[in-house]
């Protein structure tokens, strides 16, 4: 066993909570009226569930204990991103005409090392996994190339672990910020990630076990793609044939986001081409 396999939910959860506090700048602009509307609706929905399902004191106390534990395990980012963010993303991106977005999830870190295309993501000498050449072009909705587009790519390793959230991995393992060349074209060498299992030893894992659900997300690449004058898109790409593509615990798969890599011509591993279309700034 490597040290990584000892990664605990408490450790990756606490990391995700810390990172959220460091990296997200929360707008303070929500009006009193809006807070009243949203908090009121959520509380009403909980009360309706209690009344309709005739929730008992034992169940109510189990809920209280579980909610306390979510915070103790630092799993609020994980819980919200797995079970709520997909709806927020649907609302946020409803008016876009370009590439489909999907959820960011809890493991993005800004300012990963910069490289120009063609690039190879930072990885270990003996990084396990099938080599993957990910390439394509960034264009606008009129079909024009966007030279100098930025592709931020981050993903789990061949065991499903993210650098900076599991111990024993180099700081920027499998994370990079790649600037596309002229014509907005990019070529990025990486490895194919493994499916990701929600930590089973924390509060979210306890809920999944208690409800008899499964804990899996399909293998995925996370991306943020941007270019001057255009809206940044946050998305993920998946792999055809992965059994969890049809059954993602985070409800974040869309048919347009499933890749079908082929054998790499003249090289080891696989290759796939995916073009990004960015909407103009509003």
Residue 208 near which of ligand MBD, Fe ion, none (CB within 5-8 Å, type-dependent)? none
Q: State yes or no: residue 172 binds ligand MBD (CB under 6 A).
A: no
Structure tokens at 139: 């264009």
For the chain, the first-to-last Cα distance in angstroms comes to: 51
Binding test (CB under 6 A) with ligand MBD, winner from 78, 119, 180, 225: 78
Residue 106 near which of ligand MBD, Fe ion, none (CB within 5-8 Å, type-dependent)? ligand MBD
Q: State yes or no: residue 108 binds ligand MBD (CB under 6 A).
A: no
Question: Please, is 232 exposed, middle or buried when counting C-beta atoms within 10 Å of its C-beta (0-12, 13-18, 19+)?
Answer: middle
| Minimum distance of ligand MBD from residue 11's CB (angstroms) | 14
Q: State yes or no: residue 195 binds Fe ion (CB under 5 A).
A: no
| Minimum distance of ligand MBD from residue 43's CB (angstroms) | 26
Structure tokens at 230: 């255009």
Q: State yes or no: residue 81 binds ligand MBD (CB under 6 A).
A: yes
Binding test (CB under 6 A) with ligand MBD, winner from 13, 74, 98, 105: 105
CA distance linking residue 18 with residue 22, whole number of Å: 6
Backbone angles phi, psi at 75, to 5 degrees: -100, 15
Report the phi/psi class of residue 172: left, alpha or beta, with left for phi > 0 and alpha for psi in -120 to 50: alpha
Structure tokens at 202: 């924390």
From start to end of the chain, where are the E strands? 114-116, 119-120, 131-140, 150-155, 175-179, 185-191, 196-197, 216-217, 220-226, 233-239, 258-259, 262-263, 270-273, 276-278
| Minimum distance of Fe ion from residue 23's CB (angstroms) | 16
Q: State yes or no: residue 73 binds ligand MBD (CB under 6 A).
A: no
Which residues lie across from 136 on neighbouring strands?
A: 186
- The most distant pair of C-alpha atoms in the chain lies apart, rounded to whole Å, by 65
Listed ranges 99-107, 140-148, 171-179, 206-214: which one lies at the site for Fe ion (CB under 5 A):
99-107
* Alpha helical stretches, state H, 158-243: 203-211
| Minimum distance of Fe ion from residue 166's CB (angstroms) | 12
Which residues lie across from 220 on neighbouring strands?
A: 238
Listed ranges 32-40, 51-59, 101-109, 114-122: which one lies at the site for ligand MBD (CB under 6 A):
101-109
| Minimum distance of ligand MBD from residue 217's CB (angstroms) | 6
Q: Which of residues 116-135 bind ligand MBD (CB under 6 A)?
A: none
84: Cβ–Cβ under 8 A, 6 or more apart, which residues? none
Look at residue 242 and give its three-state secondary structure: coil
Per-position x/- string for 239-278, each x denoting binding to ligand MBD as judged by CB under 6 A, each - no binding: -----------x-x--------------------------
CA distance linking residue 262 with residue 255, whole number of Å: 18
Listed ranges 23-31, 34-42, 98-106, 109-117: which one lies at the site for ligand MBD (CB under 6 A):
98-106
Per CB under 5 A, residues contacting Fe ion are: 105
Per CB under 6 A, residues contacting ligand MBD are: 78, 81-82, 103, 105-107, 196, 217, 250, 252
């Amino acid at each position: 066993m490597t040290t990584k396999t000892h990664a605990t939910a408490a450790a990756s959860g606490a990391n995700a909570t810390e990172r959220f506090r460091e990296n997200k700048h929360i707008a303070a602009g929500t009006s009193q009226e809006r807070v009243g509307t949203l908090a009121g609706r959520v509380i009403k929905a909980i009360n309706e569930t209690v009344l309709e399902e005739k929730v008992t004191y034992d169940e109510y106390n189990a809920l209280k204990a579980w909610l306390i534990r979510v915070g103790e395990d630092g799993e609020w980012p994980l819980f919200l991103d797995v079970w709520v963010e997909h709806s927020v993303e649907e609302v946020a991106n409803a008016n876009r005409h370009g590439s489909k977005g999907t959820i960011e999830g809890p493991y993005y870190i800004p300012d990963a090392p910069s490289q120009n295309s063609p690039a190879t993501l930072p990885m270990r000498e003996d990084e396990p996994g099938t080599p993957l050449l990910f390439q394509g072009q960034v264009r606008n909705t009129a079909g024009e190339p966007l030279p100098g587009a930025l592709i931020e790519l981050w993903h789990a390793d061949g065991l499903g672990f993210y650098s900076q959230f599991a111990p024993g991995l180099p700081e920027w393992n499998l994370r990079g910020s790649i600037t596309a060349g002229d014509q907005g074209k990019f070529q990025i060498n990486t490895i194919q990630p493994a499916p990701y299992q929600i930590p089973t030893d924390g509060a979210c894992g306890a809920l999944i076990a208690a409800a008899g659900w499964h804990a899996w997300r399909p293998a995925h690449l996370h991306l943020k793609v941007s270019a001057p004058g255009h809206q940044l898109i946050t998305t993920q790409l998946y792999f055809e044939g992965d059994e969890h593509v049809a059954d993602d615990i985070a409800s974040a798969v869309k048919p347009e986001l499933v890749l079908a890599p082929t054998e790499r011509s003249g090289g080891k591993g696989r290759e796939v081409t995916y073009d990004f279309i960015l909407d103009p700034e509003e």
